[in-house]
């Protein structure tokens, strides 16, 4: 089994790990009800996607 010849320094280890940070998700707003939503997903509030009703939300009436 391979064994490293030299110890990995702190700076080399942290430079490698600097690319593993988390990104915050992109938030867009629904053109129908102006609620925040994820892009390419149907709106959770009104159920619309690209101007058409995609899902029926329980407790909400269709227009």
| Confidence at residue 60, expressed as pLDDT on a 0 to 100 scale | 66
Catalogue the E-assigned strands of the chain: 28-29, 36-37, 48-49, 52-53
The tens digit of pLDDT for each residue in 22-52 reads 988 899 999 989 999 999 999 998 989 988 8
Q: What is the residue-averaged pLDDT of the chain?
A: 88
Higher pLDDT, 58 or 26: 26
The percent of residues above 90 in pLDDT, for the chain, comes to 54
Residue boundaries of the structural domains of the chain: 24-63
Q: Write down the pTM of the prediction.
A: 0.55
| Confidence at residue 53, expressed as pLDDT on a 0 to 100 scale | 84
């Amino acid at each position: 089994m391979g064994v490293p010849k030299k110890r990995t320094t702190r700076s080399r280890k942290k430079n490698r790990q600097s690319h593993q940070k988390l990104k915050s998700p992109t938030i867009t707003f629904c053109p129908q009800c102006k609620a925040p939503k994820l892009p390419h997903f149907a709106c959770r509030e009104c159920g619309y996607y690209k101007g058409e009703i995609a899902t029926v939300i329980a407790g909400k009436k269709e227009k």
